Amino acid sequence: MNAEQLHAIIAAGLDCTHLEVDGDGRHWTAVVVSDAFAGLRSIARHQRVYATLGQKMHTDEVHALSMKAYTPAEWASQAR
């Protein structure tokens, strides 16, 4: 699995207004921005992203994924 493949999988399963993926093939970081996160707590947002990966987390294709999940309004207010 490479970053482009992981990016494509998440983007196919979740309508993202912004998506960054980086990692070494086993350990990944992601910034995910989606309207789908509105009204959800952090754990529910992460679960939405994990759901896009399906069995890939269980079969170790994606060993670890650390993420930050924002709504577009939250992302706009971030100091970058």
Domain ranges of the chain: 3-77
- Residues 33 and 71 sit within 8 Å (Cβ to Cβ): yes
Name the DSSP class of 57: T
Query: Which CATH code is given to the segment(s) 3-77?
Result: 3.30.300.90
Task: Compute the distance between CA of residue 40 and CA of residue 38 in angstroms, rounded to an integer.
Answer: 6
Task: Compute the distance between CA of residue 32 and CA of residue 47 in angstroms, rounded to an integer.
Answer: 12
**Tens place of pLDDT per residue across the chain (80 aa):** 899 999 999 999 999 999 999 999 888 999 999 999 999 999 999 999 999 998 888 888 888 899 999 999 999 998 66
Task: Compute the distance between CA of residue 52 and CA of residue 10 in angstroms, rounded to an integer.
Answer: 6
